[in-house]
Amino acid sequence: MNSAGGYEFEDLSIGQSVAFGRTVSEADIAAFAGVSGDTNPAHLDAEYAAGTRFKQRIAHGMLSAAYISAALGTRLPGPGAVYISQTLKFLRPVHIGATVITRVTVAALDPAKGFVTLACQCSVAGKVVVEGEAVVMVAKREGATA
Amino acid sequence: MNSAGGYEFEDLSIGQSVAFGRTVSEADIAAFAGVSGDTNPAHLDAEYAAGTRFKQRIAHGMLSAAYISAALGTRLPGPGAVYISQTLKFLRPVHIGATVITRVTVAALDPAKGFVTLACQCSVAGKVVVEGEAVVMVAKREGATA
């Protein structure tokens, strides 16, 4: 562990995994629209959304992506990790009131670069809504050599 | 244009592009932390951040990604587009007070699937901070055939 409670590279092993849940509220969607500028009516306008393929308002896909960022930045590897890249596939809509379970799992370790690849999955009621892969850079312990 | 002001597939051509700017405030970072749960001290704790490689608090990388979502969901293609996938490379940190210019550009069109690929780039003071590629699905005009 580093001083901020994050994992150091040597602490990580393939298969290590954390999950956390968030229930999406109407206020979360309004807040996300405000901070991002993404005021697409599919997220904010119930009458418009009733006429779309999803039949009701849906959360921003990037809100689920933000949960992935939270899992990486606060839990695994946690503070100190530097975000390198992320892929995202948006597979299903997320409705207001849904509880999104976000799981990140260490999938590969590159000791030469200090890069850690994590499989990322957000699910609602057991169905995957967003999946992707993150790469983060994690520092080695003081004095460690590659 | 569809009824919500979004482009229909036939309206799009390769090279079409929009850009918009947002200046990142301290309040934006606090709001993003609240809505996502990403309370990593690199974003929230100035004293901790002073000891990191970035020397000061940085915005969540996913905040720039949210600006991409905003460009896609409100401007090009705009309302009605369905997010399929996104890749993101986080190239440089974004500091409080930075103005992020987000540009999305139509890069490929797949009429059979209705898929549109857009190159996405967020820049600060002319330097790219985040880049990636989005795929969205855009409806054809009523009665149009593939």
Q: Model confidence over B32-71: pLDDT tens digits?
A: 999 999 999 999 999 999 999 899 999 999 999 999 999 9
- Six-digit token string for A60: 């921003």
Over residues A113-142, the mean pLDDT reads: 96
For residue A145, is pLDDT > 60? no
For residue A89, CA distances in Å to A62, A84, A135, B32 come to 11, 18, 16, 21
pLDDT in tens, chain B (146 residues): 888 889 999 999 999 999 999 999 999 999 999 999 999 999 999 999 999 989 999 999 999 999 999 999 999 999 989 999 999 999 999 999 999 999 999 999 999 999 999 999 999 999 999 999 999 999 998 766 54
Per-residue model confidence (pLDDT) at position B145? 55
Per-residue model confidence (pLDDT) at position A4? 84
Confidence of residue A1 (pLDDT cuts 50, 70, 90): confident
The whole-angstrom separation of Cα A99 and Cα A126 is 10
The reply to whether residue A69 touches residue B62, judged by beta carbons under 8 angstroms, is yes
CA angle A38–A41–A43, rounded 5-degree value: 70
Strand pairing class (B99-110; B17-23): antiparallel
Nearest residue of A to residue B64 by CA position? A36
**pLDDT tens per residue, range A58-114:** 999 999 999 999 999 999 999 999 999 999 999 999 999 999 999 999 999 999 999
Q: Residue B138, Cα to own-chain centre: how many angstroms?
A: 17
The reply to whether residue A84 touches residue B62, judged by beta carbons under 8 angstroms, is no
A118 Cα to chain B: minimum distance (Å) = 15
Element (H, E) at B103: strand B99-110
Query: Residue A120: helix, strand or coil by DSSP?
Result: strand
Maximal C-alpha separation, chain A: 60
Per-residue model confidence (pLDDT) at position B143? 65
Per-residue model confidence (pLDDT) at position A75? 95
The reply to whether residue A52 touches residue B90, judged by beta carbons under 8 angstroms, is no
Per-residue model confidence (pLDDT) at position B40? 92
A127-137 β-sheet, strand order: A17-23, A99-110, A115-124, A127-137, A82-90, B82-90, B127-137, B115-124, B99-110, B17-23
The reply to whether residue B90 touches residue A85, judged by beta carbons under 8 angstroms, is yes
B86 Cα to chain A: minimum distance (Å) = 5
Question: Comparing A94 with A146, which gets the higher pLDDT?
Answer: A94
Task: Check if B87 contacts A (Cβ < 8 Å).
Answer: yes
The reply to whether residue B73 touches residue A48, judged by beta carbons under 8 angstroms, is no
* Residue that is written with structure tokens 């790219």 in the block: B128
Contact at 8 Å (CB) between A74 and B39?
yes
Per-residue model confidence (pLDDT) at position B111? 96
